[in-house]
Structure formats: structure tokens, C-alpha cells
Amino acid sequence: MTEIPEHLLNRSKARREAASGEASSNASPAVAKPATPATTDAAAAPKAAPAPKAAAPDPAYVVAAKTRRKIPFWAMATLSLLPIWAMLYLVALTPEEKKVEGPIAKGIEVYGGCAGCHGANGSGGAGQVLYQGNAVKTFPHIEDMLNFVYNGSQKYLSAGLASYGDPNREGGVRTLLGYNGAAMPQQGESAGGALTEYEILGVVCHIRYDLAGIDPTDEQWAAEYEHWCSPESPIFKALQDGSSSFDTVADDFKDLMPTPIAVGTDPRANKSK
């Protein structure tokens, strides 16, 4: 194959370039391509996120709650102590329960069996009125009351006695079976009752110092209370342990009483004032 000389190739190339330039100048102006509609670009672009809707206004009660002053942190500690304060307040208002010991404690226990006739507070009923000093008007001496409670009305009648207690009683003497026709039942064991002598002493002390209302600090009654009815009563303790009895107590404790009065277990006339 014959190789084309290089100068011929260059000449051919120059002619083609000249012809091409001439053709471009004679050609009609090129028609511009229509611009791509803006909508096309907008469609091609990613859609923007919709603007957030405006939040609805809070109701009035929510606004009030948000704007209300908050409880200070220290107030919560104070409020947590309220139950303790309430408990202390109740304790302060609760009256202290009176502690009862000795004969009167035993008497309160025994008196439940007497309340049916004499009333829970000694106001009477089938039995005589005991409260407001009445029991003491009838029995100014505790020994006489012990003797009567021990024996009861029927034993007194059988012994030929027409009355009991102080014959000079303010308001009139107490006659046997004279109050609603009711008899005082015998309470002592040897008289047919169910109570021991120390239980009888206890219930008599309860009647005198609780129901009848004797003031144990009164000079008139201080010695009686100390010897017979106080929590340290030596007579009550002796009756309880069996070292003394109603028949011997006046002799056993004569050093405590300037003028000892026998109690006894047989019905007897009572000592006047």
C-alpha cells in the first residue's frame, strides 16, 4: 500500500477547515432551544416540609396551673411533719387515765354486781342512793358500813334490829326494807354471800371515796382513807393475806385508830356520831 505524503494530508485538512468555515457563515442563525420551564425545575427539586401549624392556645385552667406559684421545696418537708404534729396534739388533748390501785381498784371491779340496784354512779334504783354524800350520811364510820354490807337487811331483821346506820342521820334514819320494800342482800361469805372481807372493804371504799364523793385529803377523812382505803392500806393487805379479819381487825390495828370500832361478822347496832 502506497503511503500518502504528509504534505498532501495537511493540504487536505486545510481545505476542509476552509470549507467548513464558509458553510457556517452562510447558514441561517441557529434557533435557540426553548428554556426549560421553571416548573420542571421545581418539580425536580425536593419538596420543602410544610410549615408547622400554630399550636392551639391552652385552656384557662391550664394557663392558671402553669402561672400559679409553686409550693416551696421547704414547705414539703413541713407538710410531711403534719401527721406527727396531729398525733402529738391528740395525745395532749387526751386526759391522762387515772391509775387506781389497792382497795378502790378491787372495789370498782366488785361494784359491777351492785350497780343493778344502786345505779352505776350510785344514783339509786331498787337500792338506796349512794352518791352525793348519801352513803356517808348513813355510815359516818366505815366499820358500820362494812358490818351492814357483810350481813345485809335480813340478818339485821333476824337480830331484832329495826334500822341501820347512824340513828341521827341527816334526812332521817334508814329503816330495814323501808326503801321500795327492797332488802339489802348479805354479801359476806359466812353470812351466805359471795364476797371475801377484803372485797367488801374494796367496794365500800369505792362507794365512799368515788361515788359518795369523800375528799381523802380532808382532815376529817384523811386517817380513814390512809388506814382502810389507800393503795398502801395495811388493813386491806392484812384482810387479803388472811392475817386479819373483820372480827379481829379492831384489835390488830388499834395502834392506828385512837378509838377503834369493831367491824364484826354479826349484825349489830351502829355507832352514832
Contact partners, residue 151, CB within 8 Å, separation at least 6: 186, 188, 191, 265, 266, 267
Angstrom distances, CA of residue 86 to CA of 71, 74, 90, 92, 230: 21, 19, 6, 10, 38
Quote the mean pLDDT of the chain.
Answer: 83
Question: According to the model, what pLDDT value does residue 27 have?
Answer: 47
Closest CA to 240 of 132, 107, 112, 136: 107
By three-state DSSP, how is residue 175 classified?
A: strand
CA distance 240 to 103: 10
Q: Would 31 be classed as within a structural domain?
A: no
pLDDT (average), residues 98-125: 90
Please indicate, yes or no, if residue 218 is contained in any of the structural domains: yes
Residue at 22 is within a domain: no
Q: Which grid cell is 72? A: 416551696
**Beta-strand relationship, 174-175 and 163-164:** antiparallel
pLDDT tier, 245 (very low <50, low <70, confident <90, very high otherwise)? very high
Note the pLDDT tens digit of each residue in 177-224: 766 667 899 999 888 899 999 999 999 999 999 999 999 999 999 999
What mean pLDDT is predicted for residues 54-70?
77
Higher pLDDT, 50 or 86: 86
Q: Which triple of cell numbers denotes residue 55? A: 399550636
CA of 253: how far to CAs of 106, 167, 271, in Å?
Answer: 21, 26, 19
pLDDT number for residue 260: 86
Instruction: Find the distance separating the first CA and the last CA of the chain, reported in whole Å.
Output: 181
Which residue would you say has higher pLDDT here, 33 or 252?
Answer: 252
> Which residue has cell 373483820?
246
Pairwise pLDDT comparison (103 vs 12), residue with the higher score: 103
Query: Is 47 a domain residue?
Result: no
> Domain for residue 85, yes or no?
no
Q: Which three cell numbers stand for residue 81?
A: 411533719
Angle at 251 between CA 150 and CA 166, to 5 degrees: 45
Q: Which pTM does this prediction carry?
A: 0.65
Provide the residue range defining the domain that includes 117: 102-252
Grid coordinates representing 263 are 367491824
Q: Structurally, how many domains does the chain consist of?
A: 1
21-30: average pLDDT: 52
Q: Is 166 exposed, middle or buried (0-12, 13-18, 19+ CB in 10 A)?
A: buried
pLDDT for the residue numbered 47: 66
Indicate the angle between helix axes 197-206 and 234-241, nearest 10 degrees: 150
Query: Residue 118 domain-assigned?
Result: yes
Q: Which residues lie closer than 8 Å to 60 by C-beta, 6 or more apart?
A: none
DSSP run (H or E) holding 236: helix 234-241
CATH number at 165 reads 1.10.760
More confident residue, 27 or 78: 78
Cα gap 25→220, rounded to integer Å: 157
Give me the pLDDT at residue 118, please: 93
Residue 130 lies in a domain: yes
